Amino acid sequence: MPVMDVAGGWYTSGTFWASAGVVVAVLAAVAVVWVTLTAGFPRRLYFGLRAAAPLLAAPAGIRGDLELRHRGTALADPRVVTVELVSRGRKDIPSEAYDDRQPLVLDVGARIVEVLQVTSGPGILPVPRITPDGAALKIGPSLIGRRQEITINILTDGGQPSLACRSPLIDVQVRQRTEGSPQQWPWWAVAVAAWTVAVAVAVAAWTGPVAA
């Protein structure tokens, strides 16, 4: 009758050590990703254009007969534009991060008539200084919290808005956030997924010969 050597099985098995090597390699890759995401850019800031609603939505044939005024001044093509700033880094963006005390500039591509409303969250984080200048919003120099979300509603006039950014921020990754773009997974989700794959590979390699 065949006898299975249980006592000397696991540590003398070539399959075990091969699967263990796979686990170590995957964990090493996870460590590299973690260090890159957390140490490389501890501060990240996203900006985006969420909405641009025209106030004169009548058909083109009768639009010329309508007039909209703001504080007595006629507007040719007024729109309510919503701009977002979202901080997703591990650290706050302090006022000292603005190079030479220059503001972050968001150009909306149309003349800003007025800043209508600014909201901020979560909690009681202060709203940074926001100054309209022509077609641009100048942000700061002011503190932006590490999980802060800032929504700016403005009234523009003079064409279809767009959005561009000029950033003076030091050691801050600044990116545009477009509607419908895929969200990046957080580092911990990548680590969990990699760990799950590594364990599955190891278990499959270890149990495969026994099942046969």
CA distance 157 to 177: 23
Closest-CA residue to 81 (of 45, 112, 120, 119): 112
Q: Is 113 helix (H, G, I), strand (E, B) or coil?
A: strand
The mean pLDDT values, 10 residues at a time, for the chain of 212 residues are 52 58 63 55 88 78 72 90 92 95 96 96 89 97 94 93 95 81 49 60 55 45
Closest-CA residue to 160 (of 139, 135, 193): 135
Q: pTM of the prediction?
A: 0.67
Distance of alpha carbon 113 from the chain centroid = 28
Q: What is the DSSP letter of 125?
A: P
CA distance 149 to 167: 18
Q: Residue 201: its pLDDT value, please?
A: 56
User: What residues are paired with 19 via a beta bridge?
Assistant: none
CA distance 135 to 155: 11
